[in-house]
Amino acid sequence: MLTQPTTDKILLAIADDLNSVVLPSVTDEPAKVLLGQIDQLLRRLSRRTASEIDWMIAEIKQINNAIGRETEDLSSYLLTDVASAYSEASGALGEAIDQAFSEGDSQQVAVLRQLLVDRIAKEQQILGQLDLVGRG
């Protein structure tokens, strides 16, 4: 029984059940590979769902600080609403990068470049490493 039926815990429980119940009874090698890929995907999705909203809200604030915009309070923490605000902030970041380059503002370019480096690092942390199950 799940005592915390959050999406991340549900995904982990599914992965664990596939490994402990289904995998031992599978003899077909391509099916075993597929189960390994499904396991990996479920675990990556679990990590992402556990922190995705917080990750986007924090990055929206970082972007707004870097480009001199005020961060408005979100009226909703539904994933679709936060993702929409994140997309809008990402668009503003792209415009700020274009402006910094066109103005030759190397200091602002460096600040915005660091934001992108931090974004990639956070994505890697959340998603984890992709193991090529059944590949080699």
Condensed to tens digits (0 to 9), the pLDDT of residues 60-112 reads 999 999 999 999 899 999 999 999 999 999 999 999 999 999 999 999 999 99
In this prediction, residue 123 carries a pLDDT of: 82
Characterize 98-116 residue by residue with b for buried, 16 or more Cβ atoms within 10 angstroms of its Cβ, and e for exposed. eebeeeeeeebbeebeebe
Condensed to tens digits (0 to 9), the pLDDT of residues 9-39 reads 999 999 999 999 999 999 999 999 999 999 9
Higher pLDDT: 127 or 100? It is: 100
With a CB cutoff of 8 Å and minimum separation 6, the contacts of 33 are 133, 134
Written as six digits, the tokens of 18 are 């596939």
Q: Domain limits of the chain?
A: 7-127
Res. 133 pLDDT band, cuts 50 70 90: low
pTM: 0.78
- Dist. CA 46–CA 126, nearest whole Å: 9
What average pLDDT does range 114-133 have in this prediction? 79
- Dist. CA 71–CA 29, nearest whole Å: 52
Res. 1 pLDDT band, cuts 50 70 90: low
In this prediction, residue 2 carries a pLDDT of: 61
Res. 122 pLDDT band, cuts 50 70 90: confident
